[in-house]
Amino acid sequence: MNKLKASFVTANTITEEQFLLNRMKEKEIGRRVENHIHNEMKLDFDALSVNESFARTAVAAFISPLNPTLEELSDVKTAISEAVTNAVIHAYDEEYYLKHHKPDPENDEKMKVYIHCELDKDTLHVEIWDKGKGIANIDLAMEPLYTEKPEQDRSGMGFAFMEAFMDDLEVISEPGFGTTVLMKKNLRNNRG
């Protein structure tokens, strides 16, 4: 080992081998990010309407390294908004609250919305779930124009929008346990 290398090793307290290994790891991570091979994020937040814009902006920021078109961005944001709004408005509604709320501040902790996003090459996989009241009849709930809250001016178009703006939509629900919405969007549909 020459003098320069020897002093470098002492000053940084890592060996030349470790230094090179770290460089390789950094390069590998950089390559994976540049090629968008795989990326993942998770969020959980209180089921409050104010968090709907937070959620759609966070997911939009997550997919932005893929340079989505404005249309793709708007499609994804709309779908996220609809799913999160449903969790806030339907999953944890007055019926749920009256049934489950006890004078225990920790109980409110359970009223959360969860998001898990994964980018697999050019495809976004989103999972949005709640632990709310659940859906008894999924087929009926997914019918365009069906709403259980017409008195609140809901139009029953949330699931129809998710279906139209994303490439895949699946809803899994268990009354009393909550609902999971799975969506997929290919972000390179219009490009080569």
Ligand X SMILES: Nc1ncnc2c1ncn2[C@@H]1O[C@H](COP(=O)(O)OP(=O)(O)OP(=O)(O)O)[C@@H](O)[C@H]1O
Q: Which residues are catalytically annotated?
A: 82, 86, 154
Total residues interacting with ligand X, rule: CB under 6 A: 22
Judged by phi (left if over 0) then psi (alpha if -120 to 50, else beta), residue 14 lies in: beta
Contact at 8 Å (CB) between 130 and 92? yes
User: Phi and psi at residue 43, in whole multiples of 5°?
Assistant: -135, 145
In the region spanning residues 79 to 118, those forming contacts with ligand X, defined by CB under 6 A, are 82, 86-87, 90-91
Q: Does 157 bind ligand X (CB under 6 A)?
A: yes
Closest contact distance (angstroms) between CB of 134 and ligand X is 6
User: In the bound complex, which residue of the shown chain has the CB atom lying closest to Mg ion?
Assistant: 158
Q: 56 vs 133, which CB is nearer to ligand X?
A: 133
Please, how many CA atoms are within 13 Å of residue 14, restricted to the half-sphere of its CB? 9
Q: Does 127 bind ligand X (CB under 6 A)?
A: no
Judged by CB under 6 A, which of 55, 117, 124, 146 binds ligand X? 146
Contact at 8 Å (CB) between 126 and 46? no
For residues 114 and 127, give the distance between their C-alpha atoms in angstroms, rounded to a whole number: 8
User: Phi and psi at residue 181, in whole multiples of 5°?
Assistant: -110, 120
Q: Does 159 bind ligand X (CB under 6 A)?
A: yes
User: Phi and psi at residue 47, in whole multiples of 5°?
Assistant: -75, 75
- Number of C-beta neighbours around residue 4 at 10 A: 8
Q: 16 vs 170, which CB is nearer to Mg ion?
A: 170
Q: Does 132 bind ligand X (CB under 6 A)?
A: yes
Closest contact distance (angstroms) between CB of 39 and ligand X is 26
Judged by CB under 6 A, which of 158, 166, 183, 185 binds ligand X? 158
Q: Kindly list the distances between the CA atom of residue 32 and the CA atoms of 26, 27, 29, 98, in Å, as whole numbers in the listed order.
A: 10, 9, 5, 48
Judged by CB under 6 A, which of 127, 148, 163, 167 binds ligand X? 148
Structure tokens at 70: 């404005």
Q: 72 contacts which partner out of Mg ion, ligand X, none, CB within 5 to 8 A by kind? A: none
End-to-end CA distance of the chain, in Å?
Answer: 50
Q: 73 vs 181, which CB is nearer to Mg ion?
A: 181
Q: What residue ranges bind ligand X (CB under 6 A)?
A: 82, 86-87, 90-91, 130, 132-135, 141, 146-149, 154-159, 179
